Amino acid sequence: ERFASMEGFSRREYTTKVEDENILDDLQPSTDYAVKIALVNEVGEGDFSTEYFWKTAALSKPSPPKINYESDFSTPNNGDLESGHADRYELQWNPSEPNGSPIKGYTIKYAKVEQDYAGNWKVVSGEELKDTFQEGNQQTMYTIRNLEPSSYYKVILTASNGIGESDPSVLVVKTKDADTFTEPSPSVQQPKSTSKVTNGSHGGRGDETQKKPVVVPRPKNRAVEVQLYLRLHVYQ
């Protein structure tokens, strides 16, 4: 009912070619939005659609980065993850979702570990947890060097933005035996594109999205005019 009238909304109007989807960026966090779409051709403008509604997510720490290991690991019969190298590990990951605040960079922590009597991984006595910070939101790879052959290492990866640090992504990897080490062919897995949220059916309030920017579906092979309504009151 509060959206029955567009009073109190600030309107921005766009005219653009129709693609499979159109991205509305520069949106504000924790804010209610409505969008209406009309088709335009050489004859004129059609009627506007029913409003689509959604609310952007609040600013928050990044999502955990997803580690990719398919190109650098094999899975031996014992089920352990084994690096393709005896002296290093090529860490690769997909970028984290920034959740409204730009990614500052990624922190990589690692240490040599062993299992205790209960099967839990613990840092080897005399070893220290090493860490390094990779600045920038486009970083998706880091090579951990000077590792020992036939050893287990725990790797912890987190992302940071202006709000805080993400939950960690963790794995344990075993380096190759020195006498069986062979140099594999170079292989770099490209990071997968981040997920996008597409608004659903006409009318009604959509679920709150945790992804930005919002994606509005468009018909193919036509031009459209989009009216984006920004309500001045921000709902926390």
Note the pLDDT of residue 158: 96
Say if residue 29 is preceded by a cis peptide, omega within 30 of 0.
no
Residue closest to 32 by CA, chosen among 3, 55, 5? 55
- 147-175: pLDDT as tens digits: 999 999 999 999 999 999 999 999 899 99
- 40-67: pLDDT as tens digits: 777 777 777 777 788 888 899 999 999 9
- 165-210: pLDDT as tens digits: 999 999 899 999 987 545 555 554 555 544 443 444 444 444 444 4
Residues 6+ apart with CB under 8 A from 212: 25, 27, 56, 57, 97, 98, 99, 100
Cα separation, 47 vs 118, whole angstroms: 67
Show the domains of the chain with their CATH numbers.
9-56+193-231 (no CATH), 66-180 (2.60.40.10)
- 0.85 surpassed by pTM: no
Portion of the chain with pLDDT greater than 90, in percent = 33
Cα separation, 53 vs 49, whole angstroms: 12
Q: What are the phi and psi torsion angles at 182 (to 5°)?
A: -130, 140
Note the pLDDT of residue 136: 87
Residue closest to 66 by CA, chosen among 189, 213, 197? 189
